[in-house]
């Protein structure tokens, strides 16, 4: 009796950082915060597109340091004039916990390892043609990516991805019914074409039969 083929799955139960704050940003629950995050990210990415990473890090760090020094001097002068003793203006930040616990580091490492193992297994499966149809679809995807790479460089794709992160989820939320209906039609068409291809490729069926035996 043929056994059903099961693909090993590498999953991790380790919790990643909570999605609540991220979801509130990309779904524009607070327009001011989402706009600030979008603008700051775009400014950083555009700066990286124009300057080197070292220059951007140096300028951003210098700007932050200058703002901190100016604020510290301002508070010191204000305390001297008002004859108060409010202490260090960044005391609450200096006392905040910024270290990463060993347990948290191990949880994040376990989650990253699980995703890495899953990616490695999937790449091995595709490149070694375990399933002919899946490998052919992967080849078509790679072929399409050659055209994408010819039109856009890496930083441009990241900028487009950042903009899409703050626009597509909200657009989907506002038009969920229509998008789901269209996606279901596209999925059904793709499944139909895939089934026809699998039926027309005897090599894939024979390889699966041999493996099940």
Task: For residue 124, tell me if it sits in a domain.
Answer: yes
Mean pLDDT of the chain: 84
Count the domains in the chain.
Answer: 1
pLDDT at position 18, please? 53
Instruction: Evaluate whether residue 20 is within a structural domain.
Output: no
Q: How does residue 12 score in pLDDT terms, banded at 50, 70 and 90?
A: very low
Banded pLDDT at 210 (limits 50, 70, 90): low
Average pLDDT (26-44) is 91
- 171-187 pLDDT, tens digit per residue, is 988 888 898 889 899 88
Tell whether 139 is covered by a domain: yes
Average pLDDT over residues 163-170: 92
Does the residue 78 lie in any domain? no
117-153 confidence digits (pLDDT tens): 999 999 999 999 998 888 988 999 999 999 988 888 8
- Which of these ranges, 19-33, 54-68, 100-114, has the smallest mean pLDDT? 19-33
Asked whether residue 55 is domain-assigned, the answer is no
Q: Above 60 in pLDDT, residue 9?
A: no
Residue 174, SS3 per DSSP? helix
109, part of any domain: yes
- Residue at 198 is within a domain: no
* Domain of residue 119, residue span: 99-151
- Residue 128 in domain: yes
Which own/partner contact pairs does 130-135 have at CB distance under 8 Å and 24+ positions apart?
A: 131/204, 131/208, 132/201, 132/203, 132/204, 132/207, 133/194, 133/197, 133/198, 133/201, 133/204
């Amino acid at each position: 009796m043929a056994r059903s083929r099961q693909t090993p799955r590498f999953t991790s139960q380790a919790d990643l950082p909570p999605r609540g704050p991220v979801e509130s940003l990309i779904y524009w629950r607070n327009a001011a915060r989402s706009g600030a995050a979008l603008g700051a990210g775009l400014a950083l990415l555009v700066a990286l597109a124009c300057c080197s990473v070292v220059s951007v890090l140096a300028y951003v760090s210098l700007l932050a340091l200058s703002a901190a020094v100016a604020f510290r001097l301002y508070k010191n002068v204000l305390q001297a004039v008002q004859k108060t003793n409010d202490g260090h203006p960044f005391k609450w930040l200096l006392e905040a916990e910024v270290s990463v616990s060993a347990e948290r580091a191990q949880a994040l490492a376990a989650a990253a390892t699980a995703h890495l193992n899953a990616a490695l297994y999937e790449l091995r499966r595709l490149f070694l043609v375990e399933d002919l149809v899946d490998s052919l679809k992967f080849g078509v995807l790679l072929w399409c990516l050659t055209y994408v790479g010819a039109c856009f460089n890496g930083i441009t794709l990241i900028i487009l991805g950042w903009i899409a992160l703050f626009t597509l989820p909200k657009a989907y939320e506002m038009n969920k019914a229509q998008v789901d209906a269209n996606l279901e039609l596209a999925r059904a068409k793709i499944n139909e074409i895939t089934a026809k291809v699998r039926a027309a490729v005897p090599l894939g069926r024979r390889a699966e039969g041999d493996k099940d035996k």
